[in-house]
Every structure is written in C-alpha cells, then in structure tokens.
A and B are shown apart, each in its own frame.
Chain A
Amino acid sequence: MACRHRSSTTTLARLAKPARLSPRLTTQPQVQSQVASAVRCFSSSRPSQLKETRCQQGKFTSETYPELKRDPRYGQVTKEHVDYFKGLLGTESAVIDGVTNENATDDIEPFNSDWMRKYRGHCKLVLKPSSTEEVSKILKYCNDNKLAVVPQGGNTGLVGGSVPVFDEIVLNMGRMNNIIEFDEVSGILTVEAGAILEVVDQFLASKGYIFPLDLGAKGSCHIGGNLSTNAGGLRLLRYGSLHGTTLGIEAVLPDGTVVDDLCKLRKNNTGYDIKQLFIGSEGTIGVITKAVIQCPQRPKAQNVALFGLESYEAAQQAFREAKGHLSEILSAFELMDGSSQALVRQVTKKNSPLEGEYPFYCLIETSGSNSDHDGEKLQTFLEDVMEKGIVVDGTLAQDETQVKALWSFREGIPEVLSHLGGVYKYDVSIPLPEMYQLVEDTKARVEEAGLLGDTDEHPVRAVVGYGHMGDANLHLNVSTRRYDERVEKVLEPFVYEWISKRQGSISAEHGLGLAKKKYIGYSRTPTMVGLMKQLKDLYDPNAILNPYKYI
C-alpha cells in the first residue's frame, strides 16, 4: 500500500493548490492540515492581533485592564504555603514553584497566559493534583489561608477565563487524565476532568462510540474545561448541549467538600439537579474533577453538501427543508456569507467548489448508520431544494477528501481572518429570523462611519458573518487592517445593545470569562445576576475561586 500514501498526499495537495509542486509533496499537506484544524469555537469581543507588539512583549492583563485591582483580601503565597503543597503532592513535577525559585518563570509562563497571548497573569505557583483527594486538600488549605485559585484545563479558552489576573495559584488538572470506566452497552463513560477531548474520543471510537462534543481545540482541551464552560461546538445540533449529555459530576467546593454526584442514570428526578450549576459556571463555584457522560453511537456514514444561495431567506428555507427531509440524520447546518468565503479563497488560493459566487453558502452534514439510506434521503432533499429554487447551485462530496475540503471552507474562516490581521469577534445567539440582520446592520454602521473599504486608509477590511445556523449561533467578525480606536467605538456597545433588544445572547458558546465581564447585563437581568451572586456567595464565601472574572 505504499502508493496509497503517495496518492493521498497528492490529493491533499491538489485541494490546496493546483500549481506545480515538488515531486515529494511534503509541504502542501501540512498547509492543508493547518486549515483543517482551524478552530471553530474561539472568539472574543476584543481584537486578537491588533496590538502585535503587546503580544510579543506579553503585556499583563492588569495593565490592559487598569480598572482591575488586586483584592487585598487574598493572602500572598509564601514559602510556607509552597512547602505544604510540596509535602501534599509529593512528586517534584506536581508543583511548579516560582515563589522560592526564581528560575521557574519560564516554566510558569505557559500557565500564566492564554494560547492567543491576550491575557497574562502574575501567577507564581502551579499545582497539578493527581486525585480528587488532593484537589480537596489544596482547596481547603487555600480557603483557610485565603489564597485565590484559578482552575485550569487545556487553557484553550478565548475569553480569559482560565488564566490568572494577579498572583492566583493555578490549579492545573492535566494529571487527572484517566478514563475510569466505560459501559459498552449503555455508552456511559466515566472520565477524569483532565482527560484530553481527542484522547477520549479516540478511545470511544475504538468502542464504536463518539463523544457528544467536538470542537477545533479538541487536541488540547480537557473534558473538565469543556464542562465548566459548557462548550458548544460542532455536534450540538445533533447531540445537544453538555447540560443534557452529562449524567453525573464529581466536583470539589472551595472549602474542600467533595460533591460526589457520579450518577450513571439517565433518569434521576430526586430533587435539585445541583450538577448543572457546575456546567457553564466557569470554575467560579467549584472544581470539576470527574464526569459521567452519555455517549452516542458513532455514526458509520457521513455525507456533506455545500449550497450556494441567493438570500438569507433562502438559507432559512433550506434549513427548514433540511430538518423536514433529513430530520434524524442532520448533524450540522452551517452558514457562511459570501464575503467570508471570498476571503477564504483569497488567502488559501483554493478554487471555489461552486462555479458562481453567491451571497450565502450553507454546509450540510448528515450522520447516520447506513450510507445508502442516508444517501437516498439526501438525494431527495437536494432534488427538492433545487426544484423549488431555494438552492441555486451546490455540490455533494463524492469522497472523504471532498468532505474535508468542503469543511475547510467553513472551518478555515477564523484562521484566514486571523491571518489577515486583527479581528473583532462576537459569538452571539439571536433568534433565527433576524440573525443575519446583525451583520448587515453592523456593516452599514461601519460603512457610515467611513471606516470600511478596500483601500488602505480604511481600518476595516470586511464585516463577515458565519456560524452554526442549526443552533441560531452567529459569529460576527470584523476584520481590520490595524488597530483604530474609532472601530471599537462604532462596534461597542452597539452590537451588545442590538443583541439585547432582540433577547439574544452576547456569548453563545464561549462564556464570559474576563473579556465579557462588563457585558453580562445585556443578556441577563439584574435579578438573574443577583441569583448568581447569591450562589457564588453560598458556595465560595471567601471568593477564592477564579476571582476578578465575570462574577
């Protein structure tokens, strides 16, 4: 099968670039894989690469947000504290000590900043517990000594929720990465919080199952982090949110209490469903240490189609038809606008799969157990939407290579935008009928202010929209040429107000963290925020967990 490899690399190359390539074809597939691994779920409200110099120098979060002040309630980490933790955790590698050892700064740096280097804390101590008991003892000690703690998973978030602001201790869960139990009959998985999503999914694949969540950062992100941020991702349309697929949780409260709710039952109506509080609360009331997840059967057959549409109304109609025709096998319905696709083509130099250009594109994926049955359903659906004139043109992936290639036109958008320069990203949820209107209104507003244009004197290159249409989740991205204060003024709080007026959410799948701390009021009433504060005070009276963030 020597040639299978050769042909495979070449087919990849073919998709990436039709031009002449070296006979060995070693570089192109890498380019392709980078595009394929583009992160779908990351976004934030602040421009990612606008202040390049700042990124390189690694400006501290405390400098970027001068209004944040270190809370004097919290104790300073001393040698005595470090000694306690060293004694508790035993092995050298479980404690990265920058308090007594000044040479450890480089080792601590990765825990102090997020992967986009937008946030950087002053943490001097990283703890890596290997058991729930250790987590409990660490938290109890911190609570007693009023030491602030930031729980950290794979550190792939984009709203700055998993990195310290000042000198909080980082509680990294990476060593708790065991798969504890898997029931091959029911598909119920028990796993430790620090397990990496992709590793877990590969384990499940060998058993014929699938993790109900998938996202671009799967190679680094932890299950615990996924749960505490209630990550959305690619499979939400099909398998629902983690609030539904999580059957049980084990978590540790700030006072060291272990909340053992590792329930392996789908049905359990016995009082308050406390575990839901830990899902999506971003590590502010407890640290998740284990989880029980209901995993669905891995689909055997997948099909992908791409459509070109003339209007957003047509896209909505196509979505309705897709639900009607494909119901149980529909696993993704993604929307991309024409300008986002133009940028993807411009940067990747890939030819469009469709001949003409359209203002809207939709990507549809089906997952099922029988490729013949699915193919038939998809054919009927395609014929129907073509006949009715909802879809003008489209294509159906004929093989796995084309499946990946079509996905790359959707998944490559965030990467392409980052490549072009700074991006203001908004990850929002708006009722479907008005969803795309936000992009149009934003565009009109930026245009009116004279900031949008094709030439260099305009700071804004493009206003694009794309997202998980199936979940009414839109990514509004404003691609800029350089940092310009006027752009931010035009966009904020305009976007948040716009969303608030339509009862939308200012953060659909990425959480609030530090980035959207100020804006929670646009999506939650004072009463709701008040209730959250009450819970926070109840479970974390000393406020040692993940301080300075949204709550």
Chain B
Amino acid sequence: MKIGEVLREAGECQLVVHLSIESTHPHPTLFPRYHKTMSALRILVPVKRVIDYAVKPRVNKAQTGVETAGVKHSMNPFDELSVEESVRIREGKKTPVEDICVISAGPTKAQDILRTAMAMGADRAIHVETKEGEDLEPLGVAKLLKAAAEQNKSNLVILGKQSIDDDAGQTGQMLAGLLGWAQATQASKVEFTGGDSVQVTREVDGGVETLKAKLPMVITTDLRLNEPRYASLPNIMKAKKKPLEKKTLADYGITAEKRLKTIKVTEPPPRQGGGKVEDVDGLVSKLKELGAL
C-alpha cells in the first residue's frame, strides 16, 4: 500500500488522504469479478449482543466481571449504526448491494439481535455459537471474521468501532490487518464515488478527515454516521423467515484461547453524599465543624 497524495486545506481544516492500493491488491483471486469495475457489494456486518446501554452494569461478587444474568441485553449501539449504514447503501442505489450478511458470535440468545438486524434490513445471518466461558478476545473475533469474510466472499466489512461492554476498540483494525485490506475507522460518512472507490469522512479533533480507498475494505462506524431506524412490525415478521445459519468456532478453525487475563473488576469509588441541615444555624455550625468558617 502506498500513499499517493496528502492534501491539507488549512482553511477548512480538512485533511484529504488518498490511499491507492491497486498495486498490491491483497486477494486478487478472491474477487475476480470486481477487479475491473465494481459490480456488487457483499457486505459483512458483525454485531454483538451486549448489556443494554440504558442498564447500569454491576460488578459481580467475585469481582471477575459484570453481572449478566437476568440483565437486559440488546445490540451494541455501534453495530446498529453498521446495520443501518449497510441498508442505506443499498437504498441509496448508487452501488448495487448483492448481500448484507450479519454475523454474531455468542450464546443462543445472540440470535435475537441477529433477527433484529434482519428486521432492519439485513438479508441473512450467521450465528457462531459459543459456549459458556468461551469468550472471544478482539484478536479471536478478528480471526473469525477474516475466515467469515473469505468464506462469504465479502468485499466490505462494516463494524462498530467498539463494543460497549469490553470497550477494546481493536477488532476492526486487527481484521483489516489480517485481511490486508484498506481500513477507515470511526466513519461519520460513507460515500461511493464510482468504481471501487469509497470516500469515508471521520471526525478528528478540530475538524474532519476525508479518506479515500478502494474495495475491499473495512469500515468502523462512529456515532454520527446515521440514525438507526425502528424495525417495523411487517419487517420483524419477515425477518423470522430469513435464513439464519448456525455455525461453531471449529467451523472457522478458531479456538477461544485466552491471551489476556482479567485480574480484577471493581466499581469506581462511590460518591460521598452530602447532608441536609435544618436551618441557617445548622448550616453555620456544620460549616464551622468542617473548618470552612
């Protein structure tokens, strides 16, 4: 990969980086059809089932993690953005979209969020079932996604920049590295500018940065990318009939080996509560007691 051109427009504080990657196309054999002109997108959208963001997480008694039993779970908010963006790319009709496939690794319940994603507009889903304690680390997820992207002949992976449970924020970058694809992280705008060319805007301190790259590529989503839709009832019904493939980690040649060890999870120290006084005299004596007067 070589950087073709860097252009800085000081006035608008905009950095335009054109990435040219034709010369070292990573997998020319995998995408023969798309080599000359882009014909159709095959989008892979990884989604994760996490504790609902509106729920206050509690540390478990053993201090090894947060309590998940009996706690409401939903789709990782960043992943909702990924699903929404994929559907909007299709609806935008600028680039034909052949397939939107959502994939999730997790317990059986993860199928709920896959159905939600399909109700929002994804075509099909893959559920990679993991057993209790078989939690994947970002690298494991990236390896799994690499295998899935290759198997599904994906040429675009759109995923959340992080999941709100682990907050690692690594998977997208690792995946791009493993695949050898271009990556644009924290996208706030995604545009198809003809051919295989994709222009991604990302918000940086004090302005925006515009990246241009060619497919295949990995995009991670940021908060202002779009406003996810509500799944309508007719679509929720239809989603029940859409295909959901069940797989295991072994199907992708992945094992849930641990490289990281969680030593201890603790809650931040509780805020010291204030006190109430009956009247002005009480306030004055309290202030004196605390040495403020």
**Chain A residues in contact with chain B, CB under 8 A?**
1-4, 6-8, 10-11, 13-15, 18, 20-21, 23, 91-93, 300-301, 305, 307, 351, 353-355, 371, 382-383, 386, 391, 393-404
Could you write out 23 A-B pairs with CB less than 8 Å apart? A1-B164, A4-B53, A7-B53, A10-B77, A15-B227, A18-B227, A92-B281, A93-B279, A351-B227, A371-B72, A383-B237, A386-B233, A386-B234, A394-B232, A395-B231, A395-B232, A396-B231, A396-B233, A398-B231, A399-B72, A400-B53, A401-B54, A401-B77
Across the interface, name the chain B residue whose C-beta is closest to A400. Answer: B54
Residues in chain B near residue A355, CB distance under 8 A: 232
B-side contacts of A403, CB under 8 Å: 54
- Nearest chain B residue, comparing its CB with the CB of A18: B227
A23, A351, A383: which contacts B203 (Cβ < 8 A)? A23
Which A residues are CB-close (under 8 A) to B70? 300
**What are the interface flags for B165-190 relative to A under an 8 Å C-beta threshold, 1 for contact and 0 otherwise?**
00100000000000000000000000
Are A396 and B236 touching (Cβ within 8 A)?
A: yes
Interface-centre pick from B116, B224, B228, B234 (highest chain A CB count, 10 A): B224
Question: A4 → chain B, closest Cβ, in Å?
Answer: 5
Q: How far is the CB of A476 from chain B (nearest CB, A)?
A: 29
Contact of B74 among A20, A23, A399 (CB under 8 A): A399
Give the residue of B57, B162, B230, B237 whose beta carbon is less than 8 angstroms from that of A402: B230
Known contacts A2-B167, A400-B52; decide if A7 and B78 are in contact (CB<8 Å): yes
Q: How far is the CA of A92 from the CA of B162 in the complex (A)?
A: 56
Q: Are A398 and B237 in contact (CB under 8 A)?
A: no
A11 touches B236 (CB 8 A): no
Chain A residue contacts of B203, Cβ below 8 A? 23
Q: Closest Cβ of chain B: how far from A544's Cβ, in Å?
A: 28
Chain A residues with CB under 8 Å of B280's CB are 92
Residues of chain A with a CB closer than 8 A to B224's CB:
10, 20-21
Contacts of A402 in B (CB 8 A): 230
Interface 0/1 of B65-83, CB less than 8 Å to A: 0000010101101100000
When the two chains form their complex, are residues B230 and A395 in contact, meaning their CB atoms are under 8 A apart? yes
Given contacts A7-B78, A399-B74, contact A354 B232 (CB under 8 A): yes
- Smallest CB-CB A-B distances: 9 pairs: A400-B54, A399-B74, A18-B227, A10-B223, A394-B233, A395-B230, A93-B279, A353-B230, A3-B167
Beyond A3-B164, A14-B223, A400-B54, 11 additional pairs, beta carbon < 8 A: A1-B167, A2-B167, A7-B77, A7-B223, A11-B53, A18-B226, A382-B236, A393-B232, A396-B236, A398-B116, A399-B54
Interface residues in B, total, Cβ within 8 A: 32
CB of A373, distance to nearest CB on chain B (Å): 14
Contacts of A11 on B, CB cut-off 8 Å? Answer: 53, 77, 223
Contact pick for A354, options B226, B227, B230, CB 8 Å: B230
Q: Does B55 contact A (CB under 8 A)?
A: yes
B119 to chain A, nearest CB (A): 8
Query: Which chain A positions have C-beta within 8 A of B279?
Result: 91-93
Contact with A along B261-293 (1 / 0, CB 8 A): 000000000000000001111000000000000
Task: Give the residues in chain A near B77, CB-CB below 8 Å.
Answer: 7, 10-11, 401
How far is A393 from B74 in the complex, measured between Cα atoms in Å? 23
B53 touches which one: A20, A300, A351, A401 (CB < 8 A)?
A: A401
The one of B55, B228, B236, B278 that contacts A14, using a Cβ cutoff of 8 Å: B228
Chain B residues near A10 (CB-CB < 8 A): 77, 223-224
Residue from A4, A371, A395, A398 whose CB has the most chain B CB atoms within 10 Å: A398
Contact A399/B53 with A2-B167, A20-B224, A300-B70 known, Cβ cut-off 8 Å = yes
- Determine how close the nearest CB of chain A comes to the CB of B269; give it in whole angstroms: 14
Q: A11, A23, A386: which has the most chain B beta carbons within 10 Å? A: A11
| Nearest Cβ on chain A to B160's Cβ, whole angstroms | 9
Query: A404 touching B54 by the CB < 8 A rule?
Result: yes
A232 CA to B8 CA, complexed, in Å: 63
CB < 8 Å neighbour of B164 from A7, A91, A300, A391? A7
Q: How far is the CA of A398 from the CA of B228 in the complex (A)?
A: 11
> Which of A14, A23, A92 has most chain B Cβ within 10 Å?
A14
The smallest C-beta distance from B28 to any residue of chain A, in angstroms, reads 38
Minimum C-beta distance from B34 to chain A (A): 32
In residues 189-224 of chain B, which contact A (Cβ within 8 Å)?
Answer: 203, 223-224
Separation of A354 and B232 alpha carbons in the complex (Å): 7
Contact present for A395 and B233 (CB under 8 Å): yes
Q: Which residues of A contact B234 (CB under 8 A)?
A: 386, 393
Q: Are A400 and B55 in contact (CB under 8 A)?
A: yes
Q: Which residue of A lies closest to B227 (CB)?
A: A18
Chain B residues in 8 Å Cβ range of A92? 279-281
Q: Give B45 Cβ to nearest chain A Cβ, in Å.
A: 16
Interface residues of B in 119-149 (CB under 8 A from A): none
